[in-house]
Amino acid sequence: MSTGAIPIRHLTPDSVTELTTAARTLLDAFDGSAAHPGLLAQVPLSADALSDAIRHTCRPADTSDGLFVLRGLDIDDDTLGPTPGHWSTAGNAGAVYDVVLLLLSTVMGTPIAWEGQQDGRFVHNIVPSPGHEEEQTGASSSVLLSPHTEDAFHPGRAHLLVLGCLRNHDAVATTAASIRNVQLDAADVELLSQPVLPILPDDAYAEAQAYQGEPPPVPTLWAAPDGPTLRFDPAYTPLDRAPAGHRAAYRQLEDELARVSVAVSLTPGDVLVVDNDLVVHGRVPFRARYDGTDRWLKRASVRVPGRRTRPPAEQTEHGYGQTAVEAFA
């Protein structure tokens, strides 16, 4: 794994002031709640008023890495309050950064939420939680969070994943690897482009895991007009059901993704933007203290209208009964 250069885009002090002022103005108008429906309805108007400098900083990823870090937001650790012990206890903690992420996400596309995850919120709190240490979800800590496509089981998954860092005293690294940096032979690409195995819902979606429909087989790779894309979640892919040749190709892809993986230790105020069609992401293990000082991220998911990065056949999938809700539909 490399800790090499990650594309970094710096928000100017004026841009930071503009974003935080817009966020606080919205919060003041809606009782300090980032989840207020009235606030959400006003986000597009506030985003439309943002400067060209912010829009330029939020332009699509323009390297094969498929990601970038926005840097420059101000986080005051002393006034932030303790890291919540569970997403459900976060309430309005760090609400100004929820709204900042909503504004940035709206500049880049359309934020989405899931009816079955974190009470349908458009910005999630990612914190380690007691009893979840060994799960393959964002609430885990003591295990490697395997590299994966976010919400890979669902055809309506985000095109972009936006991770804002509020606290990371232990420099816990997020891992990322782009399909456009790997080297695979033509035979392996051909095998992985066939819909052989399903991707099952992860542990964050209990209702989806109980869905009775037949899991649809999906391709791991797809040749999009501008290059290869992938849909990948080995922790929830029943690889033992595949023929030996397919399993070998899948393992080769895993090895290649590991070879080109980079480690990104976000610092408070960093916002990592990941192209979810090109890049798998994960997290290294760490020891949670549960004393209010643990790693704390905010997460938003974004769809980009008009994108052609997925096979048309995905439109017929049932999505295990889960519904992704667009913020401004």
Question: Which residues of the chain register pLDDT less than 70?
Answer: 1-4
Question: What is the tally of structural domains in the chain?
Answer: 1
Assigned domain for 1 exists: no
* CATH number of the CATH domain containing 26: 3.60.130.10
Taking the chain, what is the end-to-end CA distance rounded to the nearest angstrom?
A: 40
Asked whether residue 122 is assigned to any structural domain, the reply reads: yes
Query: What's the pLDDT score for residue 206?
Result: 86
Residue 233 structural domain: 8-326
Closest CA to 61 of 183, 232, 179, 231: 179
Give domain status of residue 41, yes or no.
yes
pLDDT at 317: 96
Query: Looking at the domain assignment, is residue 212 inside a domain?
Result: yes
pLDDT value of position 3: 45
Residue 276 lies in a domain: yes
Taken in order 138, 141, 142, 146, the sign of the CA dihedral is positive
pLDDT of residue 117: 87
Instruction: Give per-residue pLDDT as tens, 170-182.
Output: 999 999 999 999 9
Residue 139: what pLDDT? 86
Average pLDDT, the chain: 95
pLDDT computed for residue 144 by the predictor? 87
Does a structural domain hold residue 209? yes
Tokens 């595949």 sit on residue: 242
Q: Which amino acid is at 57?
A: T
Look at residue 3 and tell me if it is in a domain: no
Does the residue 16 lie in any domain? yes
What is the predicted pLDDT for the residue at 4?
A: 55
